[in-house]
Amino acid sequence: MNKFVYADNAATTKIHPLVVEAMIPVLSDTYGNPSSIYGIGRHAKTFLDNARNIIASAINANPDEIIFNSGGTEGDNAVIRGIAKANAHKGKHIISTKIEHHAILHTLDVLKKDGFEITLLDVDSEGFVTAKALEQAIRPDTILVSVMTANNEIGSIQPIAELGAICRLHKIPFHTDCVQAVGHIPIDVAAMNIDLLSLSAHKFGGPKGVGALYVRRGIRVPSYLTGGGQERSRRSGTENTAGIVGMAKALEIAVDELESERTRLSKMRDRLIDGLLKIPYSRLTGSRDNRLPGNASFCFEAIEGESLVLMLDMFGIAASSGSACSSGSLDPSHVLMAIGLPHEIAHGSLRLSLGRDNTEEDIDYILETMPTVVDRLREMSPVWEDMNRKDANNV
Amino acid sequence: MYSDKVFDHFAHPRNMGEIENADGVGTVGNQKCGDIMKIYLKVDENEVITDVKFKTFGCGAAVATSSMATELVKGKSIKEALALTNTAVVEALDGLPPAKLHCSVLAEEAIKSALADYYTRRGIDPTPIIGCSGNCSCCGHDHDPAHEHIHNEEK
ipTM: 0.88
pLDDT score recorded for residue A1? 53
Res. A395 pLDDT band, cuts 50 70 90: low
* pLDDT of res. A316: 98
Left, alpha or beta for B17 (phi > 0: left; psi -120 to 50: alpha)?
left
Which residues, 6+ apart, have CB-to-CB distance to A102 below 8 Å? none
Percent over 70 (pLDDT), chain A: 97
pLDDT-derived band at B143 (thresholds 50, 70, 90) equals very low
3-class SS shares of chain B: helix, strand, coil, % to 5: 45, 20, 35
Say if residues A238 and A109 touch (Cβ distance below 8 Å). no
Active site residue B33: yes
Angle at A144 between CA A140 and CA A149, to 5 degrees: 135
**Residue B59: closest CA among B39, B34, B40:** B34
- CA distance linking residue B65 with residue B86, whole number of Å: 9
> What secondary structure does DSSP assign to A206-270, as a single string?
S-TT-EEEEE-TT------B-SS-TTTTTB-S---HHHHHHHHHHHHHHHHTHHHHHHHHHHHHH
Chains A, B: CB contacts within 8 A come to: 77
B contacts of A344 (beta carbons < 8 Å): 31-32
Q: Which residues pair with A352 in a beta bridge?
A: A296
Alpha helices per DSSP H over A29-153: 39-58, 72-87, 102-113, 131-137
Give the angle subtended at the CA of A104 by the CAs of A64 and A62, to the nearest 5°.
15
Rounded Cα gap, residues B122 and A182, in angstroms = 66
CA distances from A330 to A303, A314, A340, B92 (A): 16, 25, 17, 25
Nearest residue, CB atoms, B55 vs list A323, A344, A385: A385
Within 13 A of A130's CA, how many CA atoms are on the CB side? 7
d(CA A81, CA A177): 14
Catalytic residue chosen out of the listed positions B33, B59, B132, B138: B33
- Report the distance separating Cα B71 and Cα A60, nearest Å: 63
Comparing C-alpha atoms, which of A208, A215, A245, A243 is closest to residue A231? A215
Sort residue B97 into left (φ over 0), alpha (ψ -120 to 50) or beta: beta
Give the model confidence (pLDDT) of B29-65 as tens digits: 987 778 999 999 999 999 999 999 999 999 999 999 9
Q: Which residue has the higher pLDDT, B137 or A4?
A: A4
Interface membership of A343 toward B (CB under 8 Å): yes
- For residue A328, the 8-state DSSP code is T
User: What are the backbone angles phi and psi of residue B146, rounded to the nearest 5°?
Assistant: -60, -40
Distance (Å) from the alpha carbon of B131 to chain A's nearest alpha carbon: 25
pLDDT tens string B71-118 = 999 999 999 999 999 999 999 999 999 989 999 999 999 999 999 999
Smallest CA–CA distance from B17 into chain A, residue: A380
A233: alpha, beta or left? (left if phi > 0; alpha if psi -120 to 50): left
